[in-house]
Chains A and B, each alone.
Chain A
């Protein structure tokens, strides 16, 4: 079964509630990006300390200070991104954004609240995320608490025009005609 969405149908999805796959993919990208930035920052700090003091400083995951800094960084990363633009880098890649439950722009206070209650969905054995699948507005636990929702925000119409333009630019020989794609019954 094909899961590919026809380009023409994408236009109607703009502003609709985002689904689980897009949100999960966006969060995965954010996790990679935020962790990478954090690790790079720690490496830069280690290098700076070694240059200045001449002593090697190593950061371990078991170190409680590192864990606290990492969690704080996560709050900062998500809270700042949601408060400023309603989207994190991962969400920008997937073309989704956080809005208020009624669809208007998310105020910074609600964005900060969302980032604070976001871990709750993890702490309840991930059950907080079930709402993305079964809730009629695809809202997770942290969305319900913060009064937020996630919607598609990418310019699907521009994407459709780009798609059509690319199709128009292709030479006629490169586009398989329906007749050519059909298997020859004689063979």
Chain B
């Protein structure tokens, strides 16, 4: 049989009082919430209305005119912005075919001087870097053409050599024409 213990006696000073169970701040918080929420809502509505009224009253054009864009842009670090831009992703989004379809190439090409463009081509370098040289060589007469070119260029060289010496001897007062007038004009046109 178990042994019964006597009930524990708590001293009067240590017993909880009635007010000890209620926190007075809780009541204040509840009141605050009831007041603050509608006030915040009212403040937001007032602010929106004020902003709307201010914006309507502002002359944006005049405001923009007053802004010194140069000074503003001088403070912008464009390089940093450009670095942040993912150009590849941007270009992926561009439909070049659609873009080109909208371009009228004819007036653009009319403005291009093809003759001048061709004149700027370094034919020597082009032949060296491409198979064009092989095509020309294979389409030409081979050994016969090579021999003919050599004979002609040699003859021209001797012509000029003799011509130089003759001119040194006779010392013409005026420069001699290089070609007949019609051929000179053709050379100038080409």
Q: Which A residues are closer than 8 A to B by beta carbons?
A: 1-5, 7, 10, 12-22, 25, 93-95, 99-104, 133-134, 136-137, 149, 151-152, 154, 158-159, 161-169
Q: Is the CB of A16 within 8 A of B179?
A: yes
- Chain B residues with CB under 8 Å of A164's CB are 123-124, 127-128, 133, 136
Leading 9 A-B pairs by shortest Cβ distance: A19-B159, A103-B180, A103-B182, A168-B133, A5-B157, A15-B183, A165-B133, A165-B137, A103-B183
- Chain B residues with CB under 8 Å of A104's CB are 182
21 A–B pairs (Cβ distance < 8 Å), ordered by A: A15-B184, A15-B187, A17-B179, A19-B156, A21-B155, A21-B158, A94-B151, A95-B148, A103-B184, A103-B186, A133-B166, A134-B166, A136-B177, A149-B180, A151-B179, A158-B140, A159-B152, A162-B145, A162-B149, A165-B140, A166-B133
Total A-B contacts with CB atoms under 8 angstroms apart: 136
With contacts A15-B187, A93-B151, A103-B183 taken as known, whether A5 is within 8 angstroms of B156 at the C-beta atoms is yes
A170 to B166, CA, bound (A): 39
Where chain B touches its partner, the secondary structure class is helix
Count of B interface residues, CB-CB < 8 Å:
43
Q: Is the CB of B153 within 8 A of A10?
A: yes
- Contacts beyond the supplied A151-B179, A164-B123: 5 A-B pairs with Cβ under 8 Å: A15-B184, A16-B179, A16-B183, A137-B176, A159-B153
Check: B170 CB closer than 8 A to any chain A CB.
Answer: yes
A13 to B184, CA, bound (A): 11
- Chain A residues with CB under 8 Å of B128's CB are 164, 167-168
Q: Is the CB of B159 within 8 A of A165?
A: no
- Chain A residues with CB under 8 Å of B160's CB are 3, 5, 19
Q: Is the CB of A94 within 8 A of B155?
A: yes
Q: From residue B88, how far is it (CB to closest CB) to chain A in Å?
A: 38
With contacts A20-B162, A22-B159 taken as known, whether A168 is within 8 angstroms of B172 at the C-beta atoms is no
A7 to B150, CA, bound (A): 10
- Interchain CB contact (< 8 A) of A16 among B137, B149, B178: B178
Check: B52 CB closer than 8 A to any chain A CB.
Answer: no
Closest chain A residue, CB of each to CB of B129? A168
- Interchain CB contact (< 8 A) of B149 among A19, A20, A25, A163: A163
Check: B11 CB closer than 8 A to any chain A CB.
Answer: no
Q: From residue B87, how far is it (CB to closest CB) to chain A in Å?
A: 39
Check: B107 CB closer than 8 A to any chain A CB.
Answer: no
- Chain B residues with CB under 8 Å of A159's CB are 145, 149, 152-153
Closest chain A residue, CB of each to CB of B181? A102
Q: Is the CB of B127 within 8 A of A165?
A: yes
- Chain B residues with CB under 8 Å of A1's CB are 161
